[in-house]
Amino acid sequence: EHFNPLINFNTFFQGEQVHCAAWPCVPVYSGGPEPYSMSDEAVATISRVYSIQAQCYTLHSTTVISEPSIDMMGTKQAAAFNVPGGGNARIFAPDGRQLTSELPATEEGMVVADLDLDQVTMHKAILDTCGHNGRPELLWLGRDNHAKPAVRTDRDLSKNYLSSQPFSFNLWPP
């Protein structure tokens, strides 16, 4: 979900102060055919940018995969999850600074930092992504908080699960 700007904006708007970013095992990019976007460097960058955009602390963590896990999953010859490691834990400040040192990629552990929530308030005042910097006169996000079933049939879709309110969509001002 961290790659989805609409979901991110929805979360920013809720005013979070501390964000927990949990990622799967992400290896060091080898320069091979695997996507860079799911490398340790890329996902840490996404978490850092999240901190800046949301003006919050981000607790960034990834899964560590071990040799026994690789054997159990049978992924030794697979394109992913084929080498031990992938661990990546850091804490980012609301301005994007990394507050902790990094753990070795093959070790599980904890990173710890003191979080000054007054820094969140200060940074939200400087960069107001959900207020005037969000340009609400041009863009807005609609959210439907009604519960919906996980599986819907054609008959269910004939009911309007989206909203009982009229909906309009304009690509260009009239």
pLDDT tens readout for residues 36-66:
998 999 999 999 999 999 999 999 999 999 9
CA within 13 Å, CB half, 70? 18
pLDDT tens readout for residues 55-105:
999 999 999 999 999 999 998 888 788 889 999 999 999 999 999 999 999
Which pTM was predicted?
A: 0.80
- Tell me if residue 11 falls in helix, strand or coil: helix
Q: Give the integer Cα–Cα distance in Å for 37 and 42.
A: 5
Q: Give the integer Cα–Cα distance in Å for 70 and 32.
A: 20
User: What's the topology of domain 5-134?
Assistant: Nitrilase/N-carbamoyl-D-aminoacid amidohydrolase (3.60.110)
pLDDT score recorded for residue 139: 81
* Domain residue ranges in the chain: 5-134
Neighbours of 43 (CB within 10 A): 20
57 token code pair: 């602390």
